[in-house]
Amino acid sequence: MRRESVSRRPVLPVRAGGLLAPHAGIWNTMQTDSVPHSETPSDPELEVLLHVSEKSDARQRDIAQAVGVSLGLTNAIVKRLVKKGLLTASRVNGKRLAYAVTPDGTHEIARRTYRYLRRTIGHVVRYKEAVDAQVLAAKTRGARVVVLIGKSDVSFIVEYAALRHGLDFKVLKPREADTLEPDATGRNEATPCVFFGEKEKHGTHGGVYLAELLGRGK
């Protein structure tokens, strides 16, 4: 996991391609929880501040492309940030505008990302606890292996829970799901603890869709 100083970029997954890109999907998976828009990674004001802090020579068109909003909206956001005293705008060679994050802007970046970090840590803890409870229950029933079917950005949480309880962990492709069917009696002690990383569940055995799990724990 790459981390840089706050002066360059706060240690948060502000964009899917940012610092925590390998596990960026965990934030999307948890986005159903009630987090104010102004504190989420998609906060356009925060995105603009971050981009300008990295590239002070960026034009509004560059900022719009990086943030993923229209040029008109970018112009409105920049004007609002300048009015708040979070950005400065000055003419370069009497032609184009150059932007810079003010000390207040740097403080605002730290404030917003710190509050968001506290929230996301809470999400991760609850998610880990929910997965752990599923794995422990399966182990009590006699499961010996934890299986993740399909892709998931939170596979590391599932793997950690399996290892914590002394169970094997493996990942299967959806088309391989039927190989996990229990015997005809349905009492196969080796019936695994199954998590689905994809939206489509496969096979007739029980399993938990990871994106639904956090909601269950509320």
**Contact of 82 with 89, CB cutoff 8 Å:** yes
pLDDT digits (tens, 9 = 90+) for 155-198: 888 999 999 999 999 888 877 776 665 544 344 445 788 888 86
pLDDT confidence bin for 205, thresholds 50/70/90: low
User: Nearest 5°: phi and psi at 31?
Assistant: -70, -5
**Contact of 168 with 131, CB cutoff 8 Å:** no
Give the Cα-Cα-Cα angle 200, 205, 210 (nearest 5 degrees).
Answer: 45
Q: How far is CA 27 from CA 124, 133, 136, 180, 208, in A?
A: 9, 21, 25, 30, 19
pTM score, whole prediction:
0.51
Given this model, what pLDDT does residue 11 score? 37
pLDDT digits (tens, 9 = 90+) for 105-126: 999 999 888 887 887 788 788 8
Given this model, what pLDDT does residue 215 score? 60
pLDDT at position 27 over 50: no
pLDDT at position 143 over 80: yes
When pLDDT is averaged across residues 198-203 and rounded to a whole number, the result is: 56
Q: Which two tokens stand for residue 150?
A: 């399909």
Distance CA 46, CA 112 (A): 8
Above pLDDT 70, what percent of the chain? 67
Average pLDDT, the chain: 74
